Amino acid sequence: MAVAGGEAEEPGGSFRRYLARLGALRPQPGAERPDDDGRRRTELHLLFDQLISESCGPAPAVGPSPQDVCAVLVQACQLVHLDQEHLVSKVCQLIHHLLNRFQVMVDEQNLNFLLSYCISALKQCSSWTHVEILQALAALVYNNGPKCQKYLPDLLGEAGLLLQFSDSAQPDVELRRAAVRAMANLCLGVPGQPYLDELYRNICFQTFLSVLQSSKSSDVDDITFCMLLQNALKGIQSLLNGGKMKLMQTDQIGSLLAVLKKCMFHGLPGLSIEMPAALYPAPLPQYDKRSPVKQEQPEPATFKQTGNRRKKSKGKQKKGEFGEEGREHLGDAGDGSVLGADMLKLGLGDVQSSPCADPRPRAPDVARVCAGKEHFSSQGPAWKRISSSESEYSDAEGGIQSKTRSYQANVRQGALACFLSAIKSMEKRVLYGYWSAFVPDAPGIGSPQSVSLMTIALKDPSPKTRACALQVLSAILEGSKQFLSVAEDANDHKRAFTPFSVTIASSIRELHRCLLLALVAESSSQTLTQIVKCLANLVSNAPYGRLKPGLLTRVWNQIKPYISHKDVNVRVSSLTLLGAIVSVQAPLPEVQLLLQQPSSSGLNSSGSATPHRLNSEHWRKALPSEGEAPDHPAGCTPSEPCWLLRLCVSIIVLPREDSCSDSDANFPAFSSVYEPCPLRLESLQVLALLVKGYFSMAQSYFLELGEVACRCMEEMDPSIQLHGAKLLEELGTGVLQQYKPESAVAPDQRVPVSVVVTFWTVMLNGPLPGILQNCPHATLQTSACDALSSILPEAFSSLQNDQQILCVTLLLGLNHSENPLVKAAAARALGVYILFSCLRQDVMFVADTANAILSSLHDKSPNVRAKAAWSLGNLTDTLIINMETMGQSFQEEFSDLLLLKMLRSATEASKDRDKVKSNAVRALGNVLHFLQPCHIANPRFREAIEESLQALISTVGSEATMKVRWNACYALGNVFKNPALPLGEAPWTTQAYSALSSVVKSCKNFKVRIKSAMALSIPSKRECYGSTQQFGQIWSALVVALQKSEDTEDFLEFKYSASLRTQICQALLHLLKLAKGTDLPVVWQTVTEKGDTIKSYLLQYLKSGVEENETGTPTDSCDRERALKGALEHLSGVEKELGGKARVRVSGFLGDVLTNHTNATELTEA
pLDDT, residue 371, reads 34
pLDDT higher than 60, residue 252: yes
pLDDT higher than 90, residue 321: no
Q: What is the mean pLDDT of residues 171-184?
A: 93
pLDDT, residue 667, reads 52
pLDDT higher than 80, residue 488: yes
pLDDT higher than 90, residue 712: yes
Tens digits of residue pLDDT in 748-763? 999 999 999 999 999 9
766: left (phi over 0), alpha (psi -120 to 50) or beta: beta
Chain-wide mean pLDDT for the chain? 81
* CA nearest neighbour of 734 among 705, 714, 708, 766: 705
Give me the phi and psi of 883, to 5 degrees please.
-60, -40
Residues 6+ apart with CB under 8 A from 4: none
Between 1045 and 1069, the higher pLDDT residue: 1069
pLDDT higher than 50, residue 697: yes
pLDDT higher than 70, residue 339: no
Evaluate the omega torsion of the peptide bond into residue 587 and state whether it is cis, within 30 degrees of 0: yes
% of the chain beyond a pLDDT of 90:
51
pLDDT, residue 312, reads 39
Angle in degrees, 0-180, between the axes of helices 108-124 and 130-141, rounded to the nearest 10: 160
Residues 6+ apart with CB under 8 A from 947: 904, 907
pLDDT, residue 1095, reads 83
pLDDT, residue 1147, reads 77
Q: What is the mean pLDDT of residues 563-582?
A: 95
Tell me the C-alpha distance between 474 and 922, whole Å: 44
Tell me the C-alpha distance between 884 and 926, whole Å: 13
Between 596 and 568, the higher pLDDT residue: 568
pLDDT, residue 92, reads 94
pLDDT higher than 50, residue 589: yes
pLDDT, residue 496, reads 66
Tell me the C-alpha distance between 595 and 607, whole Å: 18
Q: What is the mean pLDDT of residues 98-127?
A: 91
Cβ pair 484, 543 in contact under 8 A: yes
Strand 1114-1115 relative to strand 1107-1108: parallel, antiparallel, unpaired? antiparallel
pLDDT higher than 50, residue 1078: yes
Tens digits of residue pLDDT in 233-248? 999 999 998 766 777 7
Q: 856 vs 540, 815, 826, 859, 863, CA distance in Å?
A: 38, 7, 10, 5, 10
Q: 736 vs 267, 691, 703, 752, CA distance in Å?
A: 59, 13, 16, 12
Tens digits of residue pLDDT in 949-972? 999 999 998 887 889 999 999 999
pLDDT, residue 1161, reads 74
pLDDT higher than 90, residue 738: yes
pLDDT higher than 60, residue 102: yes
Q: Amino acid identity, residue 909?
A: A
**Which of 408-412, 829-833, 955-959 has the weakest average pLDDT?**
955-959
pLDDT higher than 70, residue 1111: no
Q: What is the mean pLDDT of residues 195-214?
A: 90
**Which of 221-225, 507-511, 596-600, 815-819 has the weakest average pLDDT?**
596-600
pLDDT, residue 664, reads 53
pLDDT higher than 60, residue 317: no
Between 373 and 770, the higher pLDDT residue: 770
Residue 103: strand pairing partners: none
Tell me the C-alpha distance between 129 and 145, whole Å: 24
CA neighbours closer than 13 Å in the CB half-sphere of residue 1098:
28
Helix spans in 621-676 (H)? 643-653
- Cβ neighbours of 13 (radius 10 Å): 14
Q: What is the mean pLDDT of residues 49-74?
A: 80
3-state helix, strand, coil in the chain (%, to 5): 65, 0, 35
pLDDT higher than 70, residue 334: no
pLDDT, residue 692, reads 95
**Which of 536-550, 615-629, 901-915 has the weakest average pLDDT?**
615-629
**Which of 341-345, 430-434, 1137-1141 has the weakest average pLDDT?**
341-345
Residues 6+ apart with CB under 8 A from 1108: 1114, 1115
Cβ pair 620, 701 in contact under 8 A: yes
pLDDT, residue 647, reads 92
**Which of 125-129, 288-292, 786-790, 1077-1081 has the weakest average pLDDT?**
288-292
pLDDT, residue 63, reads 73
Residues 6+ apart with CB under 8 A from 372: 304, 305
Q: What is the mean pLDDT of residues 998-1004?
A: 89
% of the chain beyond a pLDDT of 70:
79
pLDDT higher than 70, residue 638: no
pLDDT, residue 13, reads 57
Cβ pair 755, 739 in contact under 8 A: no
pLDDT, residue 320, reads 38
**Which of 356-370, 964-978, 1019-1033 has the weakest average pLDDT?**
356-370
Tell me the C-alpha distance between 89 and 412, whole Å: 33
pLDDT, residue 1127, reads 83
Tell me the C-alpha distance between 1145 and 1140, whole Å: 10
* CA nearest neighbour of 974 among 915, 921, 1021, 1024: 921
pLDDT, residue 1116, reads 65
Q: 741 vs 693, 832, 856, 926, CA distance in Å?
A: 19, 16, 31, 23
Tens digits of residue pLDDT in 898-936? 999 999 999 999 999 999 999 999 999 999 999 999 989
Tell me the C-alpha distance between 742 and 732, whole Å: 18
Cβ pair 544, 588 in contact under 8 A: yes
pLDDT higher than 50, residue 76: yes
